[in-house]
Amino acid sequence: MFRAAVPRLHTSLSCAAPLTREQLNKLPNGLIVASAEQLPRPPRTEQSHLVLMYRAGTRYETNRQTGLVPLIKGLMYYGPTKIGSKHSQIPDGVLISPFCTPDYLGVRLSAPRCHTNLILEVLGNIVAFKDCDLDVLPYALVEKPRHPSFIAGELARLAAYNYGTLAHPTYSSMSDARDHFSDDDLRKFAASHMVADNAILFGANVNHEELMEFGEERVPVNAEPAPRATDSSYVGGERSIKQKKADQTYVSIGGDGAKIGDVSALAVQAVLMASLGSCVVRHNVPVERMGAFADLGKHGASIVVGCNAHSFEGEGLIHVDIGAPSSSINNLVKDVARVFKTLKVNDIEDAKQLAKSKILTSISLLPPSAVIYQLTRQIFTGVTTVSLLAEIDNVTASQVNAAAARVASNFTIASYGNVDNVPSRDQLLDELK
């Protein structure tokens, strides 16, 4: 059967895990299949990795379906070997890691290379949602604890996009969701979104011909084009959750950021984050002080201030995550806001080199399976690490200053823990006028 080759969109992240023999094809059913040989890091044995990623994240839920995608993610873990069985077990040696983001839903699988057939069989059962059954989920589900800074970041996204689809949560109580949705709800969503022309299958140390055969025979084909996500624009906002008897406060403050696919905006954002820097103080001892945030250590004996960013299709969010005692949080948050308002990059070349270094360092720390995940995502976005690094060379100081000013013009702020001393969004905007 004819398989149309498509342009290679990904680039080897050789500093993380060397890749060779990269291949990329688009099958007649619309599925993109990619593969590469990945050398192991000593002293590890050679592993095979699979990533199946659908453009079917939480933003593709309707308002009535909120919580459905996290439930499907849970089903991918609890019932992978025989969807519909109440006694499913993951085979020994197979690691399975489902994921969902606002844009994407999917699963990562790993196993020793000699057991590649196992992860292909497990993946085959995961995609067979026509046979799904909520009874595979255990009745006594223990929800994974979330770090307070993660919760603050999630609250920031909910506040930034208000009631838009990008505000749909990426995690929820599976116990509650199981009671809210039916097997038929799962099947209908899968039939519309979890289909071949809405997906990418990437394998490392897996035979490319076997992957294409799997994609042609096992990945469902939809009868009509998959639905598009509803637009969800950045609006800015404020949310908080107060925890009783909490001493620490976690705040996420930020604003409009770079969207997926806009390599120029992503490059500017990378330089902005490098210019802002970070500040970590532990028990009065400075651990890390960089960039415009270097002097924030004056606000407490133990504080953490660092940048983060999330890019979505059509939108983006850049935010600063702060953790500090409640007694220090008011002035600390105000000073972070002032940095955005007053930032003027003096040495743009140093900032660009630092941005590149941070990108390459973060890649070098990725485990091999995460490298394959990032490459799969790059195929969807069309922005490679190499293209981003090259675009950073074109960034100007005025672009970085303008990006910071745009954040300061319409803040989003979210807080978790002891929130009594956190300044309100209106207070911040008024003080910065």
Is there a domain that residue 96 lies in?
Answer: yes
pLDDT of residue 369 exceeding 60: yes
- Residue-wise pLDDT tens digits, 278-319: 999 988 888 899 999 998 988 777 899 999 999 999 999 999
156 within domain boundaries: no
pLDDT attached to residue 218: 87
Check pLDDT > 50 for residue 16.
Answer: no
227 found inside a domain: no
224 is a domain residue: no
User: Is the same domain home to 175 and 210?
Assistant: yes
Instruction: Indicate whether 95 belongs to any domain.
Output: yes
Over pLDDT 90: what percentage of the chain?
Answer: 53
- pTM assigned to the model: 0.89
With bands split at pLDDT 50, 70 and 90, how would you rate the model's confidence at 1? very low
Would residue 409 count as lying in a domain? Answer: yes
The total domain count for the chain is 2
Q: Does residue 158 fall inside a structural domain?
A: no
Is pLDDT above 80 for 159? yes
pLDDT surpassing 80 at residue 244: yes
Report the pLDDT value the prediction gives residue 83, as an integer from 0 to 100: 40
SS3 assignment for the chain: CCCEECCCCCCCCCCCCCEEEEEEEECCCCCEEEEEEECCCCCCCCEEEEEEEECCCHHHCCHHHCCHHHHHHHHHHHCCCCCCCCCCCCCCCCEEEEEECCCCEEEEEEEEHHHHHHHHHHHHHHCCHHHCCHHHCCCCCCCCCCCHHHHHHHHHHHHHCCCCHHHCCCCCCHHHHHHHCCHHHHHHHHHHHCCHHHEEEEEECCCHHHHHHHHHHHCCCCCCCCCCCCCCCCCCCEEEEECCCCCEEEEEEEEECCCCCCHHHHHHHHHHHHHHCEEEEECCEEEEEEHHHHHHHHHCCCEEEEEEEEEECCEEEEEEEEEEECCCHHHHHHHHHHHHHHCCCCCHHHHHHHHHHHHHHHHHCCCHHHHHHHHHHHHHHCCCHHHHHHHHCCCCHHHHHHHHHHHHHCCEEEEEECCCCCCCHHHHHHHCC
Weakest-pLDDT range from 20-29, 124-133, 421-430: 124-133
- Tell me which of 183, 218, 253 is where a domain ends: 218
Residues 256 and 336 grouped into a single domain: yes
Q: Tell me: do 8 and 115 sit in the same domain.
A: yes
The string of pLDDT tens digits covering residues 92-130 is 677 888 899 999 999 999 988 888 888 888 888 777 654
**Residue-level pLDDT at 377:** 92
- What is the residue range of 315's domain? 238-431
Give me the chain's average pLDDT, please: 85
